Structure 1
């Protein structure tokens, strides 16, 4: 089971790399923001799976913090766009 979890973590990290490339190349800021949200949610998923594989509960806490920061980023971005309109 641990091998499967580590393989799943590797697949998630590959997804993070692809989203990072998209965030750098995105034609608009909205595309970049979507890629950054994908990075944060996939990163938190990778942390949770890795926490289960290596039995380190602190990684779950780090994943929770990452999701909270991503949520805050979305709120700030949407509020900024609404104020401009």
Structure 2
């Protein structure tokens, strides 16, 4: 069973690699923010899976703390995205379309 959990953790780690590509090449800030959220969620999953596979309770505790930090980060990213959108609308010329 633990070999299967290690394989799942490796696949999740590969998804973080794909997320890094999205952060680097993302077409917009929204895509980059979602990729950062992917890092937090996948990191939590990896820590939980490795904690279960190895029997380390400290990894499970670290996953819970990472979950709290990911929630706060999500709020901060949403707030900064909203502030960025508001600043664009204030500087736009009348009649100009908003992206």
SS in 1 for 2:56: coil
1:79 maps to which residue?
79
Does residue 1:63 correspond to 2:63, yes or no?
yes
**Higher RCO (C-alpha under 8 Å, 6+ residues apart):** 1
Superposition TM-score, scaled by structure 2 size:
0.77
- Once the two structures are overlaid, the 10-residue window that deviates more, 20-29 or 48-57, is 20-29
Q: 1:16 to 1:81 in 2, by over 3 A?
A: closer
CA distance in 2, matches of 1:26, 1:73: 19
2:53 maps to which residue?
53
1:26-45 alignment runs, 5 A limit: 26-45=26-45
CA distance in 1, matches of 2:82, 2:36: 20
CA distance in 2, matches of 1:9, 1:20: 17
Unmatched tracts of structure 1, length 5 or more: none
Give the length in aligned residue pairs: 85
CA distance in 2, matches of 1:66, 1:16: 15
CA distance in 1, matches of 2:83, 2:18: 32
SS in 1 for 2:74: helix
C-alpha displacement at 1:74, in angstroms?
Answer: 1.5
Superposition TM-score, scaled by structure 1 size:
0.88
1:16-73 deviation per Cα after TM superposition (whole angstroms, max 9, x unaligned): 1111111122121111010010111011101100000011111111111211111111
